[in-house]
Structure 1
């Protein structure tokens, strides 16, 4: 038994010695291939993508080309290791290929196909401000697998392309026109028409609002001696990173100050409580 174990160890050692040059050459081929692919990738990005009119489409095509180079390198390394029959089996075995694509590469294939749909459908462009599943940010990269957005607090969020295609999202900058609104309550003892006119006059004097989009003031509700007005206005992002909360704050301050200066009465929501003492 000892002699059989010794012979197996010796056979394993001889096999390792024989395979060492092959393994060394294969690792060398892999490293050289990775270096060449990296150089090709840099060349494509510097010479093609930077000069292309459609940078998103050019980047997507470049990613596909680089992916093909990686596949070729893997099969070349297999051939160097003497596994050419194995690679031919993988290529020819449709059942095994289907199994790999269906299970191991399901997410990759799904994101790849979603990326193709996005390239042709173009729901957003580079630099657009979008909201996807509650995450708001600028699109900074679109690849064959994922889309990267930079949020308002500087974080890079990587979202799989399949999630973007299957779920709803909001593009705030597709036409660079955003509408904001807020509500304000006044007493119904005021002249409602005059108050609405005051608000419209004040909105017309606010800078940075879109001149081709007229603001509006409408009655939203009235209850318990109060009238609730809904005020809306339009503005453009002008390349800003987020929705303009400062502008909305300025509009609200202007409206409330104008109404106060015109003695408009507001509800104070104070309740009188009378306590009666039994005789």
Structure 2
């Protein structure tokens, strides 16, 4: 089976996008992992499958990590798919559904895409954590980092606060933190340096993907957790290795994420060439 694909990215967080809205595609976890491989496949941080809309959404977005596992949220991918869907429909708003819920999206001036990522979930069972505890202070530490805060943005996040982000070896300590027993579904691990009340720096070790140039849901979680600690306001620029996102935590609990998208290239892929 030979089908078209699109390679897109948000701030360098890159995706292979397949369209299964007209007919299902035989994409297994093993096949997704093979396509995501940067040496033997196309290469991406996540494989995105567009499926027919359901339950109040214009389309359903399935998110598969490079290890084949399914993710509940991906902010940068949501912006990409929203941009694509709005261009197809000739509209300035679209609603996307993932396994974690609805994500209303719109186009702002200058081609910026804004997504309502839904409410930040702050309860220990919502993250989820392995046992009841205060999500603002977790009993978790690694070399040079400790005392993170946690929340869910449709997927689990833990945020560590550090004075110097450049001194943190996220690639070395991220894997063990992701798989810590405190996180029964693993977790995305963020490292934040506060630059100003309206500006923070962030590096994310992403669950199932590793270090990425940007993580949209991670930026949302970082803003929420930093604001909960009283270290920044409820709106800020979040600077990631791939560029900047603007995040706002509204008083109703919803988190808005704004940023650019891009299509890198398009092509054709022979699905049967990858292991099922």
What's the TM-score bracket when you normalise by the shorter of the two chains? under 0.3
Q: Which has the larger radius of gyration?
A: 1
| TM-score (norm: length of structure 1) | 0.21
| TM-score (norm: length of structure 2) | 0.21
Point out the structure with the larger helix share.
1
